[in-house]
Structure 1
Amino acid sequence: MAWPDLRPQRILVIRYRFIGDTVLAIPTLRNLRQAFPNAKIDVLSEPVSGDTLALCPYKDELLYYAPRLKGEKKRASKHPTSLIGITKFLRARHYDRCYILRRSFSSAILPLLAGIPHRVGFATDGRSFLLQRSTPYADKHEVECFLDVLRADGIPINSTHNENWTDPATDARVAAALPPGNRPRVFICAKSIVTSKDWAPERFAELIVWLVNERGCEVHFCDSPALADYYEQIRAALPSPLVREWHDWSRQLSIKESNSLFQRMDLAVGIDTGLLHLAASFHLPIVGLFGPLEPWRWHPWDTAHTIVRPNDVTGPRPLLRLSVAEVKAVVEPYLQALANR
């Protein structure tokens, strides 16, 4: 096939669940758009995680699917929540091709049931027979694994760089609300929905005291309001004078609006979670605290970063083996570089 393919095809990309994985799909969407410049390219994603692609210029529509978890009762939703519901929804849209950036069996059977004739994805969970073309899920970074799905269909990969976008109106709102002055702005990402990735609230509090009192930094947060109790534990562990330095945007900015905050930060420090991938998409330097998951597959993509990981990652909370002093030692060179710029 000659590239670019100028036909006005209708293409669906499936990437629902998890903020980080959704952000890591941006290079795939860019190369897909370059290959099919006249196509309608829609992304099937999940509420909240899909919002990270709201400003992405390489897709046309964001379609939302809110699948119920195993054992979860039926719930009200303005988006399809069942395989039958989403199948009917997609079938009515008459897609020509589908690229599946998930590895589950259900995500491969969905486009088949939806009548999409050309389906490409990972050869995992014994699902190759459901696909026209497939690729192994290789032991390399998730961005490259996603790009392998395009490579399996003969699509050229012209670039792998990271990028993201902001809304000018939100940019202005964030800029007006930031504290005055030129102190280094450090974004802290402290909580994962996967507790085995977590560090400890009192250690984050100790790190924040050092960042503010000894290194003259501002500290910012913007996480899901559902995690507010965990962040409150950090705030409660701070000395009283430091509470005023607590810049929490979680109830002020949505996930897509948080892009405007990330572009105003100087450094991100946090555990392995989706917000670090959002930070990386704005090329923020990152110090990532990694526990059970492999850094070579999930490290921040296309930005300066340092991974801090204990030698022993066994057990339920391996990051508890990391001391605050070890994290400070890795953060310090980034602060020195900011001071010298």
Structure 2
Amino acid sequence: MARPDTFSKKILVLFPGALGDFICFLPALDALARDREVDLLARSEYADLVPPRIRTRSLERYEISRLFVAGADQEERLERFFGSYSSVYSWMGSGRRDFVSRLETLCERRLRIFPFRPEDSRVPVVDYFLSCLGVERPRELSPCIPVRAEASAWIEDYWRRSGLQGRKVLVLTPGSGASEKNWPRELFREVAEWWKREFTGESVIIFGPVEEERGQGGRHWEDMRVVGGLDLAKLAALIRRCDLYLGNDSGVTHLASALGVATVALFGPTDPLEWAPYGNRTTVITQNIECSPCSTQVMKNCPHRKCLTTLSAAHVMARVEKFLAKTQQNGALLDNRGCRD
């Protein structure tokens, strides 16, 4: 079996999560990359969110898919691939005995494999990923999310074309990966109208691929600025430029918080203790009704969705005003236009 260079510090990281998971994983990834070269196998689009020293490629590749096939641990190609790393960290496949056995054979004692989710569902996900490495959560989590030159040029052009210079801009994301987590869209509209009245501000509505697949990208928003089809670099650039972000429990909301933007996250059926975004300019609004948080099965079959439908726009607007006043009073206007190392 091929063995890694004794002096090599190159490590391999396998991470299968969606965007929200990945943002929660970024502090742990930063810790791994502090003094080592890292190859990350995840969703290839995550390359837009990590520094150049972390080489990001797709998890969907031959060497990974073969780990689910008998005899793969005897293949010379896989021996060479995994043998080139001094350490391999995986948050993938821990529940598949065959997968783990083949990976252990290929990596020998260089493998550290972890469950994708903590056993205790009340542990914040970001804390769990850090704990896998024996790292305690620091007082401030500020992963370095780079500014891509192309995205920076794009957002300057978009701001100019849209007449947003000098305006207070609110970014809204009314969607998420699960429609059951979404605050009613008409209430998002009420907040946008209030923002225009109270702050002479402008709103930008962001829709992702899920909303576009459901045909919700343009409906009900004809008279507002709607942006869709953005790659993660442009999405990050757009959010960085806004004065306030408001969204559901979603990957984009986690991204806004990690970027250091003033972020208001609306939670209904999911647990803020586990999933609250970790940025220090973030506030979570939830009704805390008796049946929330709930399991995914209950969420999918809930007949009333009171945790979100009874959350009024007036309540959210009042909380936003208090949050903005507190943010300004504390002087917490961090530089949200670049890396926050």
User: Do Structure 1 and Structure 2 share a fold, with TM-score over 0.5?
Assistant: yes
Sequence identity of aligned pairs in percent? 22
Of 123, 138, 141, 1:161 maps to 141
Query: Which 4+ stretches in 1 moved above 6 angstroms?
Result: 85-89, 155-159, 337-341
Match of 2:51 in 1: 56
Task: Name structure 1 gaps, 5 residues minimum.
Answer: 1-5, 67-78, 126-134, 237-242
Of 211, 216, 219, 1:227 maps to 211
Q: 1:339 to 1:157 in 2, by over 3 A?
A: closer
Contact 1:220–1:248 (8 Å) recurs in 2 = yes
Match of 1:295 in 2: 272
Using the alignment, how far apart are the partners of 2:43 and 2:257 within structure 1?
21
Match of 1:132 in 2: none
Deviation for aligned residue 1:124:
7.7
Q: Does 1:311 align with 2:288?
A: yes
Match of 2:111 in 1: 119
Using the alignment, how far apart are the partners of 1:110 and 1:303 within structure 2?
38
Match of 2:43 in 1: 46
Q: After superposition, what is the alpha-carbon deviation per residue over 1:5-56, rounded to whole angstroms, capped at 9, x for unaligned? A: x93133221222310111222211221122xx2x4311121244x3453x42
**Counterparts in 2 of 1:28-39, with a 5 A limit?**
28-34=28-34, 37=35, 39=36
Match of 2:59 in 1: 65
Deviation for aligned residue 1:328:
1.0
Match of 1:70 in 2: none
Using the alignment, how far apart are the partners of 1:186 and 1:270 within structure 2?
11
Of 237, 256, 281, 1:279 maps to 256
**Counterparts in 2 of 1:99-248, with a 5 A limit?**
99-101=89-91, 105-106=95-96, 110=99, 112-114=101-103, 115-117=106-108, 118-122=110-114, 139-151=122-134, 161-163=141-143, 164-178=145-159, 179-228=163-212, 229-236=215-222, 243=223, 246-248=224-226
Contact 1:286–1:304 (8 Å) recurs in 2 = yes
SS in structure 2 of the partner of residue 192 of structure 1:
coil
Q: 1:290 to 1:264 in 2, by over 3 A?
A: same
Using the alignment, how far apart are the partners of 1:64 and 1:27 within structure 2?
20
Q: After superposition, what is the alpha-carbon deviation per residue over 1:143-182, rounded to whole angstroms, capped at 9, x for unaligned? A: 111111111xxx7887862231111232122112212432
Deviation for aligned residue 1:225:
3.5
CA RMSD of aligned residues (A): 3.2
Deviation for aligned residue 1:206:
1.8
Contact 1:287–1:330 (8 Å) recurs in 2 = no
SS in structure 2 of the partner of residue 43 of structure 1:
strand
Deviation for aligned residue 1:184:
1.4
TM-score, normalised to structure 1's length? 0.75
Of 222, 231, 238, 1:254 maps to 231
Q: 1:192 to 1:330 in 2, by over 3 A?
A: same
